[in-house]
Each structure stands twice: as structure tokens, then as C-alpha cells.
Amino acid sequence: MPATPTPSPSSLSIRVNGRRVDLEVPTHALLLDVLRDRLDLKGAKRSCDMQVCGACTVLVDGAPVSACTYLAVEADGRDVVTVEGLGGPEALHPLQEAFVDHGAVQCGFCTSGMLLSAKALLDERAAPSEAEIVHHLRGNLCRCTGYRKIVDAILACAGGSGSAA
Amino acid sequence: MLRPFELRRPATLPELGAILGEHRDAAALYAGGSELLVLMKEGLVRPRVLIDVKRVAGLGEIAAADGTLRIGAAVTHRTVERSPVVHAHCPLVAEAARFVANVRVRSVGTVGGNLAFADPHSDLATLYLLFDARVALWSGAGGERELPLADFVRGPYETARRDDEVLTEVRLHPLPPGAAGAYLKFGVHERPTLGVAAALSLDPARRRVAAARLAVGCIGARPQRLAGLERGLVGAPVEALAAARVDAGAEGLDAITDLHGSADYKLEMAQVFVRRALRLAAARGMRQDIDARYAHTVAV
Amino acid sequence: MRPAGPFRVVGRSVRRLDAIDKVTGRARYLTDLSVPGMLHATLLRSPHAHARIRSIDVASARATPGVHAVVSSGDFGWCDPYHGPAFRDRPLLAIEVARYEGEPVAAVLAEDPEAGARALERIEVDYEPLPAVTTLDEALAPGAPLVHSREPQAGHFADLSSLRPVPGTNVCHQFHWERGRGAAGFDDADLTVEDRYTFPRVQHYSMEPHAALAAWDAEGGLVVWASTQNPYSVRVELARMFGVPLGRIRVIVPLLGGGFGGKTYAKLEPITSALARLAGRPVRLAISAEEAFRTVRRCDARVRVRLGLRRDGRIWAAECVADFDVGAYADIGPRIVQKGIYTATGPYRIPHVALHSQAVYTNTTPGGAFRGFGVPQLAWAFESLLDDAARRLDRDPVELRRQNLLAHGEEFAPGDTPIDGKFEESLGRAAEAIRWTQAAAADRGRGVAMMMKASVAPTVSEAIVRLHADGSVTVLASTVEMGQGARTVLAQIAAEVLAVPIERVSVAGPDTAITPYDQTTSSSRSTTMMGRAVQEAAEDVRQQLLRIAAGRIDAPLAELTLHDGHVRGRGAQLAYPDLLVERFGMGGGELIGRGIVAPGRSAAPLGGSTPFWEMAVGAATVRVDEETGAVTIDEYVSVADVGQRINPQQCEGQDEGAVMQGLGHTLLEEMVYDGGQLLNPNLVDYRVPRASDLPARLRCLFVENGDGAGPFGAKGVGEGSLIPVSPAVGNALARLTGVRFRELPLTPERVWRALRARRREGPA
């Protein structure tokens, strides 16, 4: 039987929520685990673990990726945005405010992913239609809200200041 | 989580070929990892070496020359979706790219990864048949060889790639000038139950079919063109398209009963969506707007 | 409780207490928690639906680097390894026999999950496959192999103190109830209709899979952090299993990423606690989403309904017979079969009723509580058949229902709470909203369905309210926040009673060392039952404030009121902090109020009188693509009679979610088994609703007559609007296509096949 390869660590330099982070991680480490366990950014969640549900969504160079199925080493030299980087209690991002105001949050487990997916959409297209929002959210599942208020919250930001970086 | 592996990042094809030649099927080619990493998490595949193709010169390019659209294997669906070159030469390909899986998979998933994985529900494997697609395979030992896509995809998760070869690019021939195409995929589940791609060239009066291309996928072991129906439609009046019928036996069209549906249902849906795809393609050919919204259907 | 209205905080859509935390990623769920020295547990699961475990070889697994221990059932001789709320039939790890595919057979404790996964692969189990029963037919066949051969012990609930298994069979409980002359009532029916229906196996798919973290202290006490809906139920199980006094077990519940009933009663807590004890270190067990499919599901059912009507449209007699498949372990199945069938006949006046239900074991994922709790399975059948009866009598289905509705104050069952809502109002609003009396477009069909459900009884809820020296308030209540917004509602109630701004009210997280007893967060009961406990506790504090103030300004209590953090009366205005100083003679101290809601047993058929009736109506407009069978819901209206919405926006959000979850089992969701093998335990192959499944128009409406027994006239909400979805859609399809569907989900293929059969055979 072939020997199990010794994990070879990789050195990474990632800008996480605007701040540069230098790390050594095993090559096979997934971005989700590095964010949650090494950087204590717990907002991204593990749910389906196969890129369907979106609970692990983070932005890498502005594009949404499934952190559960993304090697941490791929983020080397890139910008990663997690929900913690979207805005904090003192200064909420318009999407975060809209989610709160529209009652688009119930259990909250899908929320980080929903927010970051929505941000990626609004960064690309300031005034998406409801159909475009629904298309964009194909990969973001919610079991609590039934989606109505989530879509309404994103619509409320569409065409407004929701596209602010 | 993943089991440990060695990650190699060749900068050139010869480098890649050497690594692949050394490790063969103990190595896995890795681009977006959308399929590979999930299989690795489940323990279904256990490569000792991952060969990252994304830094290899040339694999991330899109170019059009000599009547061929070339899409590098490492090009992401997102890039295809946004590429002015793809829009100019094979607009249907760019538009369909928007509907592959979900936005996150499109960010990292690649054309080459999709075709090489040969998921029987792949959108690309069906759609690209419309463009007489060929794939380029390269190995250190043999250099490049080219295969029609139809011969490359052998069956579910099975391709003609030898274990020392890498898929470097896919080559598509744009539809003839004036041809109009459509791609419909239908299904309730995460992966489509059925994909139908159609392209029609109409006569100058736009009353009759001059040429037709039809591809059906997802329902059987691999996608295929419907050569018999394509021939049969030549000269047919546009009105007759509503009654077009696929002779499954003659076409060798087979369906598999699985979680996505029973074989008889899938074959019947192939009939339904071939008609719908033809109708949409014809309408586009005649510059008409029609409502092609169907439940659980993406109409590109 | 008649509300005094208008209210300051109650009835307003105040922001959820946890909203900011959740949108900023600060909210903490179980897998966000860790403790020093924590080991990671991984479970090895049986690949067989039924198998004898001949041997388990853990030597190689144990030798894996990073592995602390590998454990199987033989390592649990020091405790009682069985648990379960009805029958104590579920072992920590399989003992000699694995009873379903996915049952935990062994456990690895490792320093990190990777080492655990590696070790798991090295455990060698020698199984001897046994004949399995994986459908109701198989399980009920004479001479069928038995899923359980030993006599199970009853669990800890008063309403299940009379469990009725049928020895020598796979039936672990039966329930019968009759009213009037029972089935003999059909003798006087002018029209009798009968049909059979099935309801599929579906999964909760909470976004957060189950997880638990346990740690023992040096004195033999246990702390468990659990993603559970009932910390106290978990506590009592653990106390009994490990022989530890209740007071030495602390169950702490963070936020849950969804529950829907799937996290009721002990699931992972016993095994996690046992492993922590063996290891002498804290242990966290976090299962994957795929493992959740093998932990709990909804009980599938087959239902036979017979309805007898008089010519004038009165429903005269009804008989419902239901078999529920509870899977390999009973969990709360016995209560489900009771609760589900109890209101099978819906919100109608029916003089002669015969109900029979049974809980049947099969070698499949255990069935347990899931939003609706047996009622969706029955309502699917009954409301479908009622529409068919209306058609046979040539009556409008809305009118036929209206004619037979129970009236406000009428008795449903002897000993149980009288009807506490105006059902005709809900029905009227739904019919109006869907434009029932206007002709539908030729390609649209409309359908309506109603439901009624009892909430679990008897139960106990206790709460404490603390008024601090600065006039701020803390509510101690063990209600679990799983997305439904209950903690916010409790804060609103306290803020209303004590006349303080909601921003000044905190609600402590459930912690059995701190927050007092609550039976469960389920059954739509928390606003009503815990709400009353909180209200009572706040009233207690209010009385204390008034008495202090009355003494200070020498005024009778009746002249004093609370207003904006002050007691007012006789021209004086005394701030709460001043009153506390008055009381304690110093700047410290706090007022503590207590509330206990414990109505106790009653003569009602299920052992306790329901605190409220959950009542809802659903109305759907549907289209069908006959070529593919795909059903589209153009419009859906739900109406829930909730007495008084404490937080209108949260109620609406709950019902929107309930409708969409109902659309799941109606159109999309099905756990597909091949014998005992679950073929689709993941989201690629199990289809939960997405945003694109939203009806073009979804409206969730509420009837609020202040007639609930909860605070300010409130009742419960959250399950009701899920239940009518499938029959409303089924009825709409029947009216549109002439085809009656009896199976769910109504996938395109299923509908297509039925429509083809209709075309071949002609209309029914």
C-alpha cells in the first residue's frame, strides 16, 4: 500500500476583510476551516458540504465561492470577504440593514451566505430585477423564511446604496 | 475534510505532462475542484497528487480564429458567460454558461473540468455537440491529439482521456451565419433531468428548414446528436416543427431510470423538449418573440 | 385573556433581538463553540438496514495517530445505554443488532476530525445481514421480522403513560378514539365516500445539522451544549442514563440553525456525554448534513378515510385509519400517531367519528417530530376526500366546509378546550383573497384546505423576570431560539407588562442551571405557554413595584400605573431605580418575579386540554404543464387564526416559511429508499425549495380576535400554515384536471403519469 503523503504545509498571504493575514496551512486545508478555525471568523457555516446550499459562501476577489469546497491555498494573494467584513454593529452594510428591517433573518444559518451572494450581485448589477435576484440565489438555500423577505430585502437595496463596496 | 495530498502547479504543458506521466492515475487533474474536491471529501477518490492546471500557459485562454472558437480547459463558466469573444462567435454558449449549477460553481468550475468529469447531467456535454465540438488532449509522450466531443464522452463519468493526458481546450465551430439556436434544460433536481440543444438554419424566405442540429443529453449514458431527425427536418416547413417526433430507436436514444425520473418519462420529455427547442430556435430564426417559459425549465 | 390594548410593544414588528448578531456573523451556534482539550467524535454507521453485529475490530483504528479512543457498545456497561421519550428503545451505539442503515455502531474520539475520519476507515465490523422490513406492508405482514424483540420501557411523558404496543409485531403503539356512535354513524349517511392516501418520507433539512458538546467535571457533574429544542427533556434522559441528579446536569443551548422538530428529544446528547465520560475530556460531536438524513425524518403514513354526509351537506360520520412508519426507533412516534389522528377530522362538527392510528417500526431512519406532528399526513387525506365529497354532492367545497365548521366556544372533544377561534372568518378571508367566487381562468385551478391541531398538553413552562437596579430587565426562560423569534416575543411581553423600552430587556439563553423549567420548544406553544409564564413573572415584578410605590406615596394600588419605566399615581412619578433603592436601602438588589404555567392533566382524550387550537386555511391557484406534469403555484394564501400577533413581521415570516416548507413535501421532497438503503441523503438528490419555487404571489394573512389563552389574547403559530398546503394544491389540481392525487410529492413525473392515465381512461 502506498504510503500516505506527509502533509506539506503551504505559506499563504491573504487579505481577509481588508487586513493582510499570513498563515501556514496544510495544502489540503479548505478555506472554510481556515476562516473558521484559524481566523475565528465563524460567520461562514458548513451545511450541505457540496456547493448546493450556500451557507459557506465567501467572496474571493469579489466572486462568490463555496468555502467548503475551495482550497485555502487558492486564496493566496487574493482578497477574501466574509460576512464579518461586510459590516459590523456600529456600521452595517445596507444589505445587512435591509435584512434586519425586512425580517429576512430567522435562524440565521443561511444569512451570511445570502448576504455575500447578494453583495456580489449588487456589485455587478446595481438594480437587478426580482427574476435576476432569484436566479442569483439558486445556490442559496433557506429553510426558515421561505425566501420572500430575503428577496424583498435585496430588492430594497437594488438601485440604492446596496452596491456600495 | 480532505485527506492530505501533494499539490503540483506546473507552469507549462511539458511540466504537467511529466508529472502526469510519473503518477498516472495516482494523480488527479485539478482546476476548479467542484467535482474533484467533493469526491475527495467523500473518500470516493484518493489522489496522492493534485495537478493544478490553472497556471499552465495557454489553458486559460479564449480565442477565435479560422472559424473555430477555442476555449481553454481552465476557463471558468463565469469567464465564458462574460466573454465578448464567446458572445460574438457562439452566443448560445455564453448564455448557457450563466445557468450552469449556481453562481459559486460558475466562479471556479471550468469548461475542461466539466467535460473531463463527464457527469451525465452536464449542460456543456450536450450543448457543445451542437457546435461539432472537438477536445484537444495532450500528453508528454504523444503530444496533442484531437477527438470529437461525441467520442470523448464515453459514458457516465467515463471519457477517452488516457491517464497520462490532459484536456487542454475545447474547439467549437460557430453555427452557420443566420442560424438560431436554443438550449432548454428541464428538471426539478439540482442536476437537470434533460437537456436539449437545437439550432436551425432557415431558408431565405424563413419558411422552411434548411439545416437542423439537435442534441439531447442527461437522460442516458451520454449525450448525442439526433442525426435522423436532423436529416428529416431538412426542407420541412416551419409549421411542421410543432409535430416533430424523435424516433428513439432509430436514433439509438436511450434513457436510464434513476432518481431523476423513469426511462419512459425521460424519453417522452425528450420528445416534448425537442419540439419546444425547435419552436424556440425557429422563432429566433424568424426574429419573433415567443414565450418560452416552462415550469422547471431553463430556456436559453 | 382579553387584551386591554392598544399596546406599546406587543403587536409591533420590533427588530429581533438576535438580528444584528446574525447579519454580522457574530451569532454563535453549536459548531462555533469549542472548549479547551476538546476531542472530536466521529461515528461509524451501519451500512445495513438490519444486521447482527458479530464483531467489531478496533485495533487498527485505535493505533491511528491522533486517536484517543475507539468505542463500541461494549464500553457502556457503566450506564443505562437506552433512551427515548416514549420507549427507551434507542441505544447509544448499536447493541448486537443494527436496526437501520446509518445507525451508529462505533465511535472514534480524536484530536481532530481528520484523524477521526482516518481511524473510522480502519474499524472492521463483521455484520451478518438480517431480513429487513422497510415498508409498512412488510412490517405489518403476518410473521414479519421484528425490528425490536425486547419489551421496551416507557419514557418520561405523562401523556404517553399508557403506551400500547402489540406484542410479537412491529406495532409499538395504537390509538383509538370515538365520538358518538363511531363507525355506526355511517348507517345514517346519504353519501359515503372513501379513499386512501400516502404521505412520503421527508427530511427536516435544518441548515445546521445536529451537534452536541459534552464535558464532565471532576465532581461527576455534566455540562452539555446541545443544538436541541428541549434542554430539560435532554437533561432528564441524561440524568437517568448516567445516574446523576438533575441538578448536576447542565444543558446549555446556543442559537439553533433550524429545528422544525428534528432537534426535539435527545439525539446526539447521550452518545456525546457517554463518550466524554469515557474519554475524561470534553467531546464534540457534529454530524454532517448527510448524517442528519440518517438521524431523524418525518414519519411517512398511509391513511384511509371514510366520510359520510347527509344530503343537505352535513358531515355526519368520519372514520380515519392511519399507519405511521416511525422507523427503527420510536422517538416521539407514539405521540405523533395520537396527535395526528386526533384532529384528523379537521375543524368540522361531526357527530360520529372513529379514529384508529398505529405506530409501526421499520428498519429505516427513525421518524420523529416534524412541524405539523402527524397532522399534515391526515389533513392531506381528509381535506382531499372532503373536496371529493363536495363534488359528489355538487356543492361548492368552500361552502360545504363553511356549513360544517365548528363554532367559537363549541366543544371539539369532551374534556378538551372549547374552540377558541372563529373558523368561518379565516375561511372567508382565504376565499376572498384567492377570489374564490370569480371564475378561474381556463388553465388555472383553485383549491382550499383547512386544518386544526392541538398543542401538546399537559405541559409546564416556568419563567423568571429580574428587574435590575438600573431599571433594565432580564428574562430567564428556557425557550429555544431556532429562528421562530420566540426570544424576541418573550422580550416584547416583558417590556409591555413592565412598561420599559424593548431595548432594556435581555433574554438569557437556555441554560438549565439558570433558566427554569420549560418542557419543550415545539408544538407552536412557546408564545402561549412560556409567554404566559413570562407575563406572569413580569406581573409579579409589577405588583412588587406597585406595592413599593404605594408605600412610598401612600396611595392605593388601584390608582397606580406603570409608564415608561416609572410608577405613576397621585401626581407622582417614581423611576424604577428609585423604587429599588427604596426597597433595598441601597444601590443594589433586584426584584425577581416568577411565573409558572402548569394547567395539569385533564379529562381530554390526549391527557391534557390543549392550551389553544392552531387553526389555518390554505388556498392555492395552480397551473399545470400537461406535457411535462410540472405544477406551478401561481398564488398561495394562508390564513392563520392567531388571536394576537405579538410580532407581526415574525409571524408573517414564520408562515411564509411554513408554506414554502409545505410546498417542499407537496411538490419536491421525498426520501427515496431502495429496500433499506437511502438513495438520496444529500442536497444534490434531495430537493428542498429554492427561491425560484416561490409562488408569484404569496400572502400570509392573520385573524386576530384576541381570543387566545396566551398573553394579550395570543395563540400559537408556526405549524398551522404548513399543513393545508398539500391538500389545497391537491384540490386545486383536482378541480383543474379532474384527477385526484393520493401520493406526494406531486413531482412532474407523477402528475404526468396520472394525467396520461386520465386521458386513457376518461374522467372519473
C-alpha cell at C39: 476531542
Q: What is the third-level CATH fold of C19-27+459-597?
A: Aldehyde Oxidoreductase; domain 4 (3.30.365)
Asked if A44 contacts A108 with a C-beta cutoff of 8 angstroms, the reply is: no
Assign domain C297-457+604-761 to a CATH class. alpha beta
| pLDDT at position A162 over 60 | no
- Residue A165 buriedness (CB in 10 A; 0-12 / 13-18 / 19+): exposed
Considering only CA atoms, which of B42, B120, B129, B61 is closest in space to residue B93?
Answer: B129
Q: Please name which of C310, C341, C334 lies closest in space to residue C199, comparing C-alpha atoms.
A: C341
What pLDDT, on a 0 to 100 scale, did the predictor assign at position C294?
Answer: 97
Confidence band (pLDDT; 50, 70, 90) for C263? Answer: very high
Reading the block at residue C488, the C-alpha cell is 424576541
Per-residue pLDDT at B144 exceeds 90: yes
pLDDT mean over A40-49 = 98
B162-168 average pLDDT score: 94
Please tell me the predicted confidence (pLDDT) of residue A164. Answer: 40
Peptide bond into C458 cis (omega under 30): yes
Q: Is the pLDDT of residue C4 over 70?
A: no
* ipTM value greater than 0.95: yes
pLDDT at position A159 = 72
Domains C19-27+459-597 and C297-457+604-761 share a fold: yes
Q: How confident is the model at residue C3 (pLDDT cuts 50, 70, 90)?
A: low
Task: Give partners of C (≥3 CB pairs < 8 A).
Answer: A, B
Q: Which residues contact C495 (CB under 8 A, 6 or more apart)?
A: C8, C9, C473, C501, C502, C504, C505
Mean pLDDT of chain C: 96
Roughly what angle, to the nearest 10 degrees, separates helices A94-101 and A111-124? 130
Interchain CB distance below 8 Å, B48 and A2:
yes
Q: Averaged over C347-373, what is the pLDDT?
A: 98
- CATH code 2.60.40.10 for C33-130+204-292: no
Looking at residue B112, its amino acid is G
Query: Which ranges constitute the DSSP H helices of C18-130?
Result: 19-23, 59-62, 113-120
Is residue A7 pLDDT above 90, yes or no? no
pLDDT tens for C159-214 read 666 788 898 999 999 999 999 999 999 999 999 999 999 999 999 999 999 999 99
Q: What is the pLDDT of residue C156?
A: 64
- pLDDT value at residue B272: 98
> At C184, which amino acid appears?
A
- Return the pLDDT at A59: 98
- Structural domains for chain A: 9-85 (3.10.20.30), 87-163 (1.10.150.120)
Alpha carbon A105 to its chain centroid, in Å, reads 16
B158 band by pLDDT with thresholds 50, 70 and 90? very high
Instruction: State yes or no: pLDDT of A4 exceeds 60.
Output: no
Q: Which three cell numbers stand for residue C125?
A: 465490523
B106's enclosing H/E stretch is helix B103-108
Instruction: Identify the pLDDT of residue C181.
Output: 97
Secondary-structure breakdown of chain B: helix, strand, coil percentages, each rounded to the nearest 5: 35, 25, 40
Q: Which residues of A touch B108 (CB under 8 A)?
A: 65, 70, 74
Query: Contact A69/B4, CB-based, under 8 Å?
Result: no
Examine the residue annotation and report whether C614 is marked as an active-site residue of this protein. Answer: no
Domain ranges of chain C: 19-27+459-597, 33-130+204-292, 297-457+604-761
Per-residue pLDDT of C457-509, as tens digits, reads 999 999 999 999 999 999 999 999 999 999 999 999 999 999 999 999 999 99
Over residues C235-254, the mean pLDDT reads: 97
Secondary structure letter of residue C607 according to DSSP: S
* pLDDT tens-digit readout, C579-633: 999 999 998 999 999 999 999 999 999 999 999 999 999 999 999 999 999 999 9
**Least CA distance to C19: which residue of chain A?**
A100
CB distance C355 to C177 below 8 Å: yes
Give the contacts of A75 (CB within 8 A, at least 6 positions apart).
A12, A14, A31, A60
The mean pLDDT of C342-352, rounded to a whole number, is 98
Report the C-alpha gap between C264 and C526 in whole angstroms.
Answer: 14
Inter-chain residue contact B101 with A51, CB threshold 8 Å? yes
Q: Which are the contacts of C433, defined by CB distance < 8 A and separation ≥ 6?
A: C619, C637, C639, C699, C701
Q: Which pairs from C21-24 meet CB under 8 Å and 24+ separation? A: C21/A108, C22/A105, C22/A108, C22/A111, C22/C255, C23/A83, C23/A92, C23/A96, C23/A99, C23/A100, C23/A105, C23/A108, C23/A111, C23/A115, C24/A43, C24/A83, C24/A84, C24/A86, C24/A87, C24/A88, C24/A89, C24/A92, C24/A96
User: Residue A89 burial by CB count (10 A; 0-12/13-18/19+): exposed, middle or buried?
Assistant: exposed
Which pLDDT value is given to residue C401? Answer: 98
Segment C632-665, tens digit of pLDDT: 999 999 999 999 999 999 999 999 999 999 999 9
The dihedrals phi and psi of C232, each to the nearest 5 degrees, come to -75, -35
What residues of A are in contact with residue B79 (Cβ under 8 Å)? none
> Are B4 and A52 within 8 A, CB to CB?
no
Cα B267 to Cα B273: distance, rounded to the nearest angstrom: 10
- Option in B4, B101, B104 nearest A7 (CB): B4
pLDDT tens sequence across C33-84: 999 999 999 999 999 999 999 999 999 999 999 999 999 999 999 999 999 9
C507-556 confidence digits (pLDDT tens): 999 999 999 999 999 999 999 999 999 999 999 999 999 999 999 988 89
pLDDT at C276 over 70: yes
Cβ of residue C694 closer than 8 Å to a chain B Cβ: no
Question: Does residue C634 sit in helix, strand or coil?
Answer: strand
CA-based R_g, chain B, Å? 19
Question: What are the grid coordinates assigned to B116, written together?
Answer: 473531463
Residue A32 confidence (pLDDT) above 70: yes
Q: Which of C18, C657, C688 sits opposite A108 (nearest CB)?
A: C18
What's the 3-state SS for chain A? CCCCCCCCEEEEEEEECCEEEEEEEECCCEHHHHHHHHCCCCCCCCCCCCCCCCCCEEEECCEEEEHHHCEHHHHCCCEEECHHHHCECCECCHHHHHHHHCCCCCCCCCHHHHHHHHHHHHHHCCCCCHHHHHHHHHHCCCCCCCCHHHHHHHHHHCCCHHHCC
Q: Does the CB of B190 have a partner CB in chain C at under 8 Å?
A: yes
Domains of chain B: 6-52 (3.30.43.10), 62-172 (3.30.465.10), 180-299 (3.30.390.50)
pLDDT exceeds cutoff 50 at C1: no
Looking at residue C150, what is its pLDDT?
77
Residues of B in contact with C680 (CB under 8 A): 259
For chain A positions 113-142, those within 8 Å of chain C (CB to CB) are 115, 133-135, 137-138, 140-142
Name which of C8, C738, C679, C642 is nearest C290 in CA terms: C679
For B19-47, the pLDDT digits (tens) are 998 998 899 999 999 999 999 999 999 99
Among candidate residues C298, C301, C211, the one with its CA nearest the CA of residue C256: C211
For residue A44, which of A17, A74, A19, A77 has the smallest C-alpha distance?
A17
Query: Which among A50, A51, A116 is the top mutation candidate for probing chain B, defined by the most B β-carbons within 10 Å of its own β-carbon?
Result: A51
Which one of the listed residues C481, C559, C719, C743 is annotated catalytic? C719
Angle between helices C748-761 and C725-737 (to 10 degrees): 30
For residue C734, CA distances in Å to A73, C382, C385, C391, C624 come to 56, 14, 11, 10, 11
Are C266 and C233 in contact by the 8 Å Cβ rule? The answer is yes
Question: Do A6 and B4 lie within an 8 Å CB cutoff?
Answer: yes
Asked if C18 reaches chain A (Cβ–Cβ under 8 Å), the answer is yes
Q: How confident is the model at residue C759 (pLDDT cuts 50, 70, 90)?
A: confident
Would you call C131 exposed, middle or buried from its count of C-beta atoms within 10 A (0-12, 13-18, 19+)?
exposed
Indicate the residue of A36, A50, A83 with minimum beta-carbon distance to C683.
Answer: A50
CA-based nearest residue to A49, from B78, C29, C669, C684:
C684
